[in-house]
Amino acid sequence: MRQFDLAPLYRNTVGFDRLFSMLDQFVGVDAAPSYPPYNIERTGENAYRISVAVAGFTESDLAIEVKENTLSVRGERQPSEDRKAEVLYQGIAARTFERRFQLADGVQVVGAALGNGLLHVDLVREIPEAKKPKLIPIATSGAPSIEAKKAA
């Protein structure tokens, strides 16, 4: 039996939870490590948070852009001229990166914050009124029919 790796789709999409939950039941999904590491959390019924580990980056080193349902997080660390010490070992990665996340229709970025080496991007899925479920009243047998209401 051939096994498909859906990990890239699962890790880079937000708002498609039900679809991927169903796919996970049929296919085992293994997450591959990538730089920078990140988490995608559900913080409410229609709210999400993407947390990206950006240790060593400042606000001016980071850029967040949303274009055509794609969220891009870029980081490019500027060389520090005030550092006079010679680095003997550099274990904290400071390389340039770009991370893209595919957003479902109606998912909007509502804010971003940088703290404790993590960049948090908050998202909300806003369902348009036309796509929200509506309760349809059921007429009783004694109530006028639709045709009678149109004629009136």
DSSP notation for 36-104:
S-EEEEEEETTEEEEEEE-TT--GGGEEEEEETTEEEEEE-PPPPSS--SPPS---S----EEEEEEEP
Q: What is the CA radius of gyration of the chain?
A: 23
Looking at residue 12, the DSSP 8-state letter turns out to be T
Q: Give the mean pLDDT of 3-32.
A: 56
CA-CA distance, 150 to 152, in Å (whole number)?
5
pLDDT (tens digit, 9 = 90+) per residue, 113-123? 999 999 999 99
List the chain domain ranges.
Answer: 7-151
Angle at 67 between CA 4 and CA 102, to 5 degrees: 20
Architecture of the structural domain at 7-151: Sandwich (2.60)
- Does residue 55 have a pLDDT over 80? yes
Angle at 122 between CA 126 and CA 128, to 5 degrees: 5
Q: What is the pLDDT of residue 32?
A: 47
- Tokens linked to 142: 């004694």
pLDDT (tens digit, 9 = 90+) per residue, 73-132? 999 987 766 667 788 887 877 789 999 999 988 899 999 999 999 999 999 998 877 877
CA-CA distance, 6 to 11, in Å (whole number)?
9
What is Dmax (Cα atoms) for the chain?
89
CA-CA distance, 13 to 102, in Å (whole number)?
4
Beta 13-14 vs 97-103: how paired, if at all?
parallel
Q: What is the pLDDT of residue 128?
A: 79
